[in-house]
Amino acid sequence: MKVSTRSVSLVLLGAVIGGSLTLAQHVMGARSGNELPLEQMRTFTDVFTRIKNDYVEEVSDDELLEHAIRGMLHGLDPHSAYLNTEEFNELRIGTTGEFGGLGIEVGMEDGFVKVVSPIDDTPAARAGMQAGDLIIRLDDTPVKGLTLNDAVKLMRGKPGSILSLTVIREGTDGPLNVDIERAIIKVTSVKHRMLDEDFGYLRISNFQTKTTADLLKAIKKMKKENDGLKGMVLDLRNNPGGVLSGAVGVSDAFLNEGMIVYTDGRESDSKLRYDATEGDVLEGAPLVVLVNGGSASASEIVAGAMQDHGRAVVLGSKTFGKGSVQTIQDLPAGGAVKLTTSRYFTPKGRSIQALGIEPDITTKPGSWIRPENDSDFTPLTESSLRGALSNTTVDEGPSEEETVAEKEDNLVYDDYQLFEALNLLKGLAILNKKTG
């Protein structure tokens, strides 16, 4: 049912003045006896009326009120938002691991879209997008002034179509132009492989409802194919987070007991605690967790739990610092409200919010750089030195140890942080064997 502008204003104002209407109480959530902000409510109705009467183009009541709702939530923090029915459906699809778009987790910073993390094996990752990139233009549309939802809508489109992004990146002289071909994004949450004999590697790109089950299957497979595992690298770099149950399940997989994470907020139902159950899938074998500035939310929960319990060594660089909990609340008229209701805390009571997780060992990706334009570069060794003694043994081809060393040399150039994690794992495994 439609009503006139004057009627809408009178209804709102009547509620404020204190008639029989209770709209204002609903708007303010029945503020537990506190006085209603009468002047602000009068200002709202005045602005509403002026827009309806004087704005250069006619705006519907529905559109204006939706803008008001979005602005009310956007003003709270970067993560609270109003979701219409379409946006709510897209959010639910995203948590299952398949959706359309570029393949980046984004937020807002200073009016621009900030890349929290590119998702593995997506167009954005292949195009070279990096955590921390600021997107200032989408095709010919400036991002400044857009809401995050509006920007996301522009980034989504028909698979195969090209979107041109103008990006500001720290360390570059000027804006970068990045062309990305849209695609249907199918995210594989867990990937695994062996780094070396008896040392496994798990990569979690984001946390979905099925992540824990996939992780347990991957570990079981590696243990069966390699007759056990001496250690594991859990790679959470550029993992923007996801569902809480995934983070709790992954943490529980490596812990026998104790708290994993707790949340604290104003309401009693926002005060939650999650504890580990008995059973360490690695049976105490060493664990190294890799993190960086793109590791956020659920990733930080896992890293914090492992660190506080002394279950793993956290290696890499400081994490993103997204330690707030968003609750999705359905609305009777359709859509939902994504509202920040509490904060995450590690088992030792550390707040993740705006602080992140400091790694036990800080290692930057560029710690080892191959010289430019030298694809045949090899590290300096004893045999490289002038006058070095030759080896008098018969050359029977590379031994197993030499083959492993060659793989590790490649890892130095491909992923120095992972190379360091593997070396650390080997040291921990030797220490465990000596003290076990």
- HEC readout, 299-329: HHHHHHHHHHCCCCEEEECCCCCCCEEEEEE
- Respond yes or no: is residue 322 known to be catalytic: yes
| 321: alpha, beta or left? (left if phi > 0; alpha if psi -120 to 50) | left
198, 214, 235, 308: the catalytic one is 308
- With contact defined as beta carbons under 8 Å apart, do 314 and 421 qualify? no
Per DSSP, 351 falls in state B
CA-based nearest residue to 216, from 195, 200, 197, 239: 200
Kindly give the pairing relationship between strand 199-204 and strand 231-235: parallel
Task: Tell me the C-alpha distance between 307 and 299, whole Å.
Answer: 12
117, 251, 295, 297: the catalytic one is 297
Residues contacting 363, CB < 8 A, separation 6+: 315, 316, 317, 416, 417, 420
52, 114, 230, 322: the catalytic one is 322
329: β partners = 337
Task: Tell me the C-alpha distance between 188 and 204, whole Å.
Answer: 8
Per DSSP, 207 falls in state B
Q: What are the residue numbers of the active site?
A: 297, 308, 322
